[in-house]
Structure 1
Amino acid sequence: MAITYRKIEERDDESLANLIRKIFREFKIDKPGTVYTDPTTDHLSAVFTAAQSVYWVAEEDGQLLGGCGIYPTAGLPDGCVELVKLYASAEARGKGVGKALMQKSIESAQHFGYNEIYLESFPELTAAISMYEKTGFKYLSAPLGNSGHFACNVWMLLVL
């Protein structure tokens, strides 16, 4: 069956939270100051009801494979949105799922009229960082905005 891409729904919350935390344990980045301990991780469908935000999920045969979205994080410069919570299950990696989710999020940012996309990550997530670089994200020397994820130590920006 084909992979389908759709906007997050409340029924996705538990599966997505479990997937995100599993990935954080896999890469040994399950620590305070990340989405691992962020209480909103359990209710992402509610988080993405905010204006000018969207979260995309990938699904195959009723199984969530991953997700990615954009969110107008407090403190970002005007016209800038944050690329958030890009995760793909181990089974989905290397199949273009993460790239497709990121591309849908970038297209959504353009649709909303943003001209920059910011992200925070970890050096352990080498495949994701490589994908960001290939997409045109450039490294920043310090974080932007007020995500509250103080443990992240890779910051990047894409000018649209």
Structure 2
Amino acid sequence: MPETIAAFSIRAIEPRDDAAVARIIRAVMPEFGACGTGFAINDPEVDWMSRAYDGPRCAYFVVERDGNVEGGGGVAPLEGGDADTCELRKMYFLPTLRGLGAGAELMSRCLDVARRIGFKHCYLETLTGMDSAMKLYERTGFRRIDGPRGATGHGGCNTFYLLDL
């Protein structure tokens, strides 16, 4: 008999999710060698994501499965960028959530919100080795660009994408 994979749901982050999201980010980043200075793992906002994304022109979502938060991602204005550009930020999934279509669904949700907020472009930074994520970005229409934009503080990232919304 085939194994049944539990469905997932996506909702806006709440304060009760902060600890789970911080654990996810801190568990996933080392998996891809993203440790040390210049990576979100050391970003203080990781501990209070619900407050960090409660501001204007910001949104962060969590992905739940069986009542447990297993991933998340959001958008916010690109620090040091133009007012028309947002950044896709802190999109990470536990291995148990990968391959279920949650990435594409969450990406769609984030980009829809970015358009409604009034952004014209979405920027993101990632790291060599995050191959599945890069395939998702490219399937979604992001195009690779030569270098960083804005002032994200993520100096450890080495691959950059932009999408016209």
TM-score, normalised by the number of residues in structure 1: 0.96
Q: Would you say the 8 A contact 1:66–1:98 is kept in 2?
A: no
The answer on whether the counterparts of 1:34 and 1:152 sit within 8 Å (CA) in structure 2 is yes
- The 4+ residue runs of structure 1 with deviation greater than 2 A are none
Q: Rg larger in 1 or in 2? A: 2
Deviations 1:67-90 (A, max 9, x none): 110011221123110011111110
Alignment of 1:137 with 2:142, yes or no, is yes
- Equivalent of 2:19 in 5, 14, 19: 14
Stretches of structure 2 that go unaligned for 5 or more consecutive residues are 1-5
Q: Tell me if 1:153 matches 2:154.
A: no
Q: Which whole-Å CA distance do the structure 1 matches of 2:121 and 2:31 have between them?
A: 30
Query: What secondary structure does 2:40 align onto?
Result: coil
Q: Percent identity?
A: 36
Rounded Cα–Cα distance in structure 1 between residues aligned with 2:85 and 2:32: 28
CA distance in structure 2 between the aligned counterparts of 1:96 and 1:16, rounded to whole angstroms? 19
RMSD across aligned C-alpha pairs, in angstroms? 1.0
**Does the CA contact (< 8 Å) of 2:12 and 2:61 recur in 1?**
yes
**AA of the residue aligned to 1:148:** G
**TM-score under structure 2 length normalisation:** 0.93
Cα deviations by residue, 1:128-147 (Å, 9 ceiling, x for unpaired): 00110111111111111111
| Aligned equivalent of 1:44 | 49
Note the alpha carbon deviations across 1:89-115, whole angstroms, 9 max, x for none.
Answer: 100100001111111000000111111
Q: For residues 1-160 of structure 1, what are the structure 2 equivalents within 5 Å? A: 2-160=7-165
Question: Letter of the aligned partner of 1:6 in structure 2?
Answer: R
Q: Is the 8 A contact 1:139 1:154 kept in 2?
A: yes
Contact 2:78/2:123 (<8 A) preserved: no
Match for 1:74: what amino acid? E
Length, aligned pairs only: 160
Amino acid at match of 1:75: G
Give the C-alpha shift of residue 49 in structure 1. 1.0
